[in-house]
Structure 1
Amino acid sequence: MDKDSGKAFDKSLFNRLMQHTKPYRATFYGVALAAILVSIFAVMTPMLVGRVINDGIKAKDADVLGIYILALVGVLIAQVTCQLLFNYYANWLGESVIKDIRVNLFKKMLGFKMKYFDTSSLGVLVTRAVADMQRIGEIFSQGFFVIVADLLKMLAAAVVMLYLNWKLALIVFALMPIILYATRVFQKAMKVAFNEVRTQVSNLNSFVQERITGMKIVQLFTREKIESAKFRDINEKHKNAWLKTVWYNSIFFPIAEIVSSIAIGLVVWFGILQNVVNIGANEVGDVFAFFFLIDLLFRPLRQIADKFNTLQMGMVAANRVFKILDTDSAITNTGTIEKEDVKGNISFKNVHFSYVEDEEVLHGISFDVKAGETVAIVGATGAGKSTIINLLNRFYEINSGAILIDDINIKDFNLPSLREKIAVVLQDVFLFADTIENNISLKEKLVTIDKIEAAAKEIGVHDFVTSLPGGYSYDVKERGAMLSSGQRQLIAFLRAYVSNPSILILDEATSSVDTYSEQLIQSATEKITQGRTSIIIAHRLATIKQADKIIVMEAGKIVETGTHKELLNANGYYSNLYEAQFLSEEVA
């Protein structure tokens, strides 16, 4: 769409959008019928007004006048009724369509690789799922059907004009090319302007989203003035983009009003001239009818230009939403194995991986973890520790090599089945703005409150939860803001334990927590790692002394493997790392 920014209408895109109306065909045709009836009743009104003047008032026939007045009232009631049905069901259809598209969009995003979210703006994605969806809905409620209804009114008005007085009609039609040309230029200019508006709206949303999320950093580093200045610049661009659309409207609509006024003036002049020279007084009503018909001809044309703006904005939004729907960024889920009794044997065989092409992060990693073992992975930041977790969960696809669970390639597992067997406790715990119970169960019906409480007692966090106001019904607010980092970690441990995984992964789960929380976490760790394969990524080496095996990584390679005692005796990388950390803790 961006490359065709001057294109007034994208037929293929519109046809694709119309495909989403198929489940609501009855409503679609009902709205179309209402549009036709509104147009018919709209032109009947001026015709009846003409007859009232010609056959009733001028002829002084009270009976005929009464009949036409009743007919006029009936037509007005019918027109209002059809207009009401048209407005309601056009909006209903629009909301139903965007509901379906929004569901499809969210479902699509749920299946994206993590790489997609690594390179996409959160604010832009929110804009696509919320603001752009409303623009698409307006295609039906304020765009397409209104344009069709207005075109029908114009056609009907033109036909009635020719029927009443073809000479007056030709005078009006002679002015049509002017307003049609102005409308065409206006549409093209507005298409470009609205593309810019949507871009600036996305930029504004992204900026606000990021700054609100990172408000603590903004204030800690006294960035208020700098961020305010940036926001003013972005807001200025946003304002200018909208002002461009206002400017185009300010030019077009006065032109349309002037042409309409000229048409009325010419009809009055020529109609009176005809009446004086050639026509009897009984046809004066036709001139009055023309006043209404000119309004029906020109006003819809002005509205069509305005509604075409709505249609174009909706089309721009639809194009951007469909681009996401067409994005091929999902992890391929061709596996069919749904193994219930996963033992937890893990094998990495010569695994190569890169987040960015030609910038390899893992350089031929190979290691084995036996079922029930606790294996720790240590190394400096950027060594590739967390990458191993991401690959085991198939958040990313490896470049080459193989990852096996119970001697089965993880690509052969059904993806949801694979992830159900793995539980991860991250260093940065994410909690939803919901109760503790729902954050643990994730609203899985099989995970009852009784099961949650029993699990909490088993790993020693029940007392902590019940000490909070409301206990398991305590609302932790957005991202768990009402809890400390240690408390969030405990909730994450409980969530992992309740899921009863075959493989447990702890990614630096004890870092940055208070002493009390760390003691609870250590106790919980001992409980939940019993009888299951566990991979612990640790920064503090003192916490992994009891691991069955320690894998030491550096720059995407495994440099050492062994138990804590074996590695200390080897006087290698791990030994130096442990001594350096031990000394720093002694000094502290």
Structure 2
Amino acid sequence: MSEKQQKDTKKGKQVEKVKDFKGTLKRLLTYLKPHKIALLTMLITAVLSTVFAIVSPILMGLATTELFQSMVETGTGVDFDYILNILLSLGVLYLLSVVFSYIQQYIMAGVAQKTVYTIRKEVNEKLTRLPLQYFESRTHGEILSRAVNDLENISSTLQQSITQFITSIVTLIGVVIMMLSISPLMTVIVLLSLPLSFIVTKKVATRSQKYFLGQRKILGQLNGHVEEMYAGHAVIKANNREEQSITTFNMINESLYTTGRKAQFISSVISPLLKFVNNIVYVLICVVGSVLVTKQVIQVGDIQAFIQYIRQFSQPITKVSTIANVIQSTIASAERVFEILDEKEEVVSNNIKEIQSPKGAVRFQRVNFSYQKDKPLIEDMTIDVKQGQTVAIVGPTGAGKTTLINLLMRFYEIDNGKITIDGVDIREVERRNLRSLFGMVLQDTWLFNGTIQANIAYGCKNTTDEEIVRAAKAAHADHFIRTLPDGYDTILNEEASNISAGQKQLLTIARAFISNPTILILDEATSSVDTRTETKIQQAMNTLMKGRTSFVVAHRLSTIRNADMILVMDKGKLIDQGNHNELLAKGGFYADLYTSQFINRNPRREIV
């Protein structure tokens, strides 16, 4: 995080609101359109369940009136058959209410999960279409927070809050009708309390909205920090940065606590405030109802039924107010998810071509590229690589070596100029076809949680066991694999920390062997192995590179002396090119870089 972000986080300064509440809500509701029939069925069952629950107080009021009249007014004794019939009717009504409520919840659970399934699928597919720049400009934790936590928040709201909202509205309408049938005067008294309840709800919901959004944002920061710290825990310990890591975590955690506490506290204030309003209404109803009973306008049981209706009337208002706060949080989550879906994707060519029978001739023709429009990095670069040539790329940090590779594989789009493979502009080639031409062995290995066999065969379809073993032998990985307890079926953990760094490198080299690429990209592929293994790997790599066009990002210049072409880069510019002997004879920048590694002095520039 930047210094400003840290200060704002430390102060709990998260005051942003949802940018487009109505637009985001409307967009979220469009995902429910395919489920119209299910939602209509859910609505009908919700109405039936609520109606059966609403009728019950009237029957209980009749029982109360019967008891009062038979024991107090007439003294004739209780008609137990009448009371029993009422109790049986109540049992049936409550049972039907529960059954329809179950059906309602079952249907809505399916709709909610299918809806979130669709959104989650769109997000996952969108992430595969986003350019590399998107992932480089955001932490992994922030992206995961949007793709996992925010979607779960949406799922929970769709499954619970929608049904509660519908039943609350139906309950409100039904209860008002039943109260009017008992006493219009007492109903007016209750309805007069509504404006006060709505004012309380609106004030609290508006104030809590900004804190719910802040809570989601800080949770993303926390996820990013935790993911980063666990991924780099060895480096943190080696550099004694545990305290700084804990301090940063505590700072973000404190901010999350502060923002979350404010959001939950403010939203929870609604319930006691509404209860206070309802208690005042209870008192008024009891007083007015007693007067009406003495004037024989209503019965004693009607007061009891009316009080129950007030409780049923206040509960949906409380639920609606609570749902209002939940929706604030959900819309904040939905907006963060939709921001991913609205991100600019990789440029898709209109005229898609495929390179048939690729040979590997590569040309950069007056290529210009910049990460920021006002800060050009690569300018007017022209390179002509013949089929089967080995091209080494050297230069100090930030020279543009990795950028050149990213442009070649279309991880980034060039600003001007043209890059061709076998004479075909790569912007006209479908990315899947383009990238199938390449095999990569990078200094930073990447292996996934799975078997060693699956990791070697990654990216290749219909690979046989014999081909996997042959590739492992070519990469000198077969021996160490067979020494593992489960051999090729050994499961690598998420960080692949159950094998050494050198062994990881061997597996990625085996992966390159099995892909049989037209063009190889090597980023100091033997940097993590011992000297003896390095010699064997270099021999294997020479075999792999034979007949293939190869781009070698060189860190140790001694490893690329036999390259057909060496590209010398500095600050994004191609300042020289030629073979090793030609560049040494010139006595220029390359010669200085090369000799600086073999004499006991500080090099003029760092080689990385």
2:375 paired residue number:
359
Deviation at 1:483, TM superposition (A): 2.5
| Distance in 2 (alpha carbons) for counterparts of 1:556 and 1:193 | 44
Deviation at 1:443, TM superposition (A): 6.7
Q: Sequence identity of aligned pairs in percent?
A: 33
The answer to whether the aligner puts 1:289 opposite 2:305 as a matched pair is yes
1:36 paired residue number:
47
TM-score, normalised with respect to structure 1: 0.94
Deviation at 1:447, TM superposition (A): 2.2
- Higher mean displacement: 427-436 or 411-420: 427-436
1:552 paired residue number:
568
CA offsets 1:260-303 (integer angstroms, 9 cap, x no match): 122222222221221113347xx211111112101110011111
Counterpart pick for 2:280 among 262, 280, 300 = 262
| Distance in 1 (alpha carbons) for counterparts of 2:513 and 2:351 | 26
- Higher mean displacement: 151-160 or 64-73: 64-73
| Distance in 2 (alpha carbons) for counterparts of 1:409 and 1:6 | 43
CA contact (8 A) 1:346 1:371 kept: yes
Deviation at 1:64, TM superposition (A): 3.3
Mind listing any 5+ residue stretches in structure 1 that lack a counterpart?
A: none
1:568 paired residue number:
584
- Spell out the pairing of 1:6-21 with structure 2 (5 A cutoff): 10-21=21-32
2:480 paired residue number:
464
1:485 paired residue number:
501
| Distance in 1 (alpha carbons) for counterparts of 2:88 and 2:166 | 29
Mind listing any 5+ residue stretches in structure 2 that lack a counterpart?
A: 1-13, 71-77, 604-608
CA contact (8 A) 2:460 2:515 kept: no
1:315 paired residue number:
331
Deviation at 1:444, TM superposition (A): 4.7
1:86 paired residue number:
104
2:446 paired residue number:
430
Q: CA RMSD in A?
A: 2.3
2:469 paired residue number:
453
Counterpart pick for 2:114 among 61, 85, 96 = 96
1:221 paired residue number:
239
Counterpart pick for 1:326 among 317, 324, 342 = 342
Deviation at 1:579, TM superposition (A): 2.2
- Higher mean displacement: 242-251 or 499-508: 242-251
The answer to whether the aligner puts 1:411 opposite 2:427 as a matched pair is yes
Quickly say closer, same or farther: Cα 1:5–1:378, change in 2 above 3 A. closer
Aligned AA (1:15): K
- Spell out the pairing of 1:369-380 with structure 2 (5 A cutoff): 369-380=385-396
CA contact (8 A) 1:434 1:476 kept: yes
Deviation at 1:57, TM superposition (A): 6.9
Deviation at 1:3, TM superposition (A): 9.3
Deviation at 1:68, TM superposition (A): 2.2
2:416 paired residue number:
400
TM-score, normalised with respect to structure 2: 0.91
- Spell out the pairing of 1:8-157 with structure 2 (5 A cutoff): 10-54=21-65, 58=69, 60-157=78-175
Aligned AA (1:47): I
CA offsets 1:549-580 (integer angstroms, 9 cap, x no match): 22222232223322223333333333332222
Quickly say closer, same or farther: Cα 1:553–1:255, change in 2 above 3 A. closer
| Distance in 2 (alpha carbons) for counterparts of 1:516 and 1:429 | 20
2:196 paired residue number:
178
Q: For residue 563 of structure 2, give the secondary structure of its aligned residue in structure 1.
A: coil
1:195 paired residue number:
213
Quickly say closer, same or farther: Cα 1:23–1:443, change in 2 above 3 A. farther
| Distance in 2 (alpha carbons) for counterparts of 1:390 and 1:3 | 38
Deviation at 1:184, TM superposition (A): 1.4
Deviation at 1:73, TM superposition (A): 0.7
Aligned AA (2:178): V
CA offsets 1:503-538 (integer angstroms, 9 cap, x no match): 111122222432133123212211211221111121
| Distance in 1 (alpha carbons) for counterparts of 2:44 and 2:485 | 58
| Distance in 2 (alpha carbons) for counterparts of 1:28 and 1:440 | 47
Deviation at 1:408, TM superposition (A): 0.6
Deviation at 1:244, TM superposition (A): 1.0
- Higher mean displacement: 466-475 or 422-431: 466-475
Deviation at 1:153, TM superposition (A): 0.4
